[in-house]
């Protein structure tokens, strides 16, 4: 959208300079310039309308996003992380996937104007697989000091051990097991309502020294 306007202005400036160099009379310059202005305006307006329409369609598709558990189970780790990112976007969290080598226990990070920053650690596993407490320890250790997070969440398409869930509940690391994931992804429940996440969290709640 912005690039279209910049291109149109650049073309217009060049056209004015060319016309001024070739034509000495102001009237002749205006006669050449007016059609160029109209064409540039029409092109910029068309590109703007197309960009707005494309973004509106994307928002509409995202608002109705539903992913069933079978589809999530069939994904690889990378696709699972992108799916979680898209679900956060659906819920109003501007989010990005950051997972990979050296991600320091963060696969997706989202920043919300009212709710602050969320860090998601994705654990895609075979059905019936369980996530243990060490994952919770890792997320707790990096959420604040490294990622400056207000909320940390471990999400799995499998299950978590009882110790992992209990430890997370005690230390403020949220968790989404298979049933919570189904409600989030399949039924459209917003993550911040499902867990729930505070609307105005204390900054860097995982980093007491911050």
Q: How confident is the prediction for the chain on average, in pLDDT?
A: 83
| 128 in Cβ contact with 159 (< 8 Å) | yes
- pTM value? 0.70
Q: Is the pLDDT of residue 46 over 80?
A: no
DSSP bridge pairs for 142:
none
pLDDT score at 163: 98
Average pLDDT of the segment spanning 58-69: 75
What pLDDT digit, counting tens, does each position of 119-132 carry? 999 999 987 799 99
Higher-scoring residue by pLDDT: 128, 105: 105
pLDDT score at 208: 47
Q: Is the pLDDT of residue 204 over 60?
A: no
User: Predicted confidence band at 52 (pLDDT cuts at 50, 70, 90)?
Assistant: low
Average pLDDT of the segment spanning 73-92: 97
The answer to which of 10-19, 131-140, 147-156 has the lowest mean pLDDT is 10-19
| 158 in Cβ contact with 127 (< 8 Å) | yes
What pLDDT digit, counting tens, does each position of 87-103 carry? 999 999 999 999 777 88
Q: Is the pLDDT of residue 206 over 50?
A: yes
Q: Is the pLDDT of residue 61 over 60?
A: no
Cβ partners under 8 Å of residue 131, min gap 6: 123, 125, 154, 156, 158, 159, 160, 161, 164
Q: How many CB atoms lie within 10 A of CB 179?
A: 10
How far is it, in rounded angstroms, from Cα 200 to Cα 196? 12
Backbone angles phi, psi at 8, to 5 degrees: -60, -40
């Amino acid at each position: 959208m912005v690039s279209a306007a910049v291109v149109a202005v650049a073309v217009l400036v060049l056209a004015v300079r060319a016309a001024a160099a070739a034509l000495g009379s102001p009237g002749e310059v205006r006669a050449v310039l007016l059609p160029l202005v109209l064409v540039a305006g029409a092109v910029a307006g068309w590109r703007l309308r197309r960009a707005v329409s494309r973004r509106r369609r994307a928002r509409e598709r995202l608002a109705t996003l539903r992913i069933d558990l079978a589809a999530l189970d069939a994904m690889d780790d990378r696709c699972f992380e992108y799916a979680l990112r898209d679900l956060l976007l659906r819920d109003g969290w501007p989010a990005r996937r950051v997972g990979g080598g050296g991600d320091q226990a963060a696969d997706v990070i989202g920043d919300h104007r009212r709710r602050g920053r969320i860090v998601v650690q994705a654990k895609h596993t075979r059905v019936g697989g369980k996530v243990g407490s060490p994952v919770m320890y890792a997320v707790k250790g990096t959420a604040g000091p490294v990622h400056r997070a207000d909320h940390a969440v471990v999400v799995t398409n499998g299950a978590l051990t009882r110790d992992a869930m209990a430890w997370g509940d005690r230390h403020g690391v949220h968790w989404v097991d298979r049933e919570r994931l189904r409600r989030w992804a399949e039924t459209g429940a917003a993550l911040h309502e499902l867990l729930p996440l505070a609307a105005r969290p204390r900054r860097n709640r995982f980093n007491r020294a911050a």
